[in-house]
Amino acid sequence: MKATITIEDYANGIALKGSSDAENSTPIAFVALEHDKEKAIGKTIAEDIRHVMDSELCNAVRMVIEYQPIKSEP
């Protein structure tokens, strides 16, 4: 499964938007306040990991992370 999560940083928290190529997956879009942002990112990743383990009947997952900056147009 491949997932894409876009994280936007704001003064009081973050916005997360994402999708995956998993069958029947629902795109995500929510905000997290400053004090909850790490928990929100972790929860999003943990849900994807659980989905892979459950759908593939396995107990190990390899996660590959590639960070890409998004620069806005001037």
Q: Is residue 9 part of a domain?
A: yes
Q: Is residue 65 part of a domain?
A: no
Question: What letter would DSSP give residue 21?
Answer: S
List all residues 6 or more positions away from 29 whose beta carbon is below 8 Å from its beta carbon: 15, 16, 17, 18
Q: Tell me the pTM.
A: 0.84
| Total structural domains within the chain | 1
Convert the pLDDT of each residue in 17-67 to its tens digit: 999 888 778 899 999 999 999 999 999 999 999 999 999 999 999 999 999
Q: Is residue 48 part of a domain?
A: yes
Q: Is residue 71 part of a domain?
A: no
Q: What is the pLDDT of residue 74?
A: 65
Residue range of the domain that includes 44? 3-56
d(CA 24, CA 20): 9
Q: What is the pLDDT of residue 26?
A: 87
Q: Is residue 70 part of a domain?
A: no
Would you say residue 9 has pLDDT above 70? yes
Would you say residue 5 has pLDDT above 90? yes
Q: Is residue 68 part of a domain?
A: no
Q: Is residue 35 part of a domain?
A: yes
Neighbours of 37 (CB within 10 A): 19
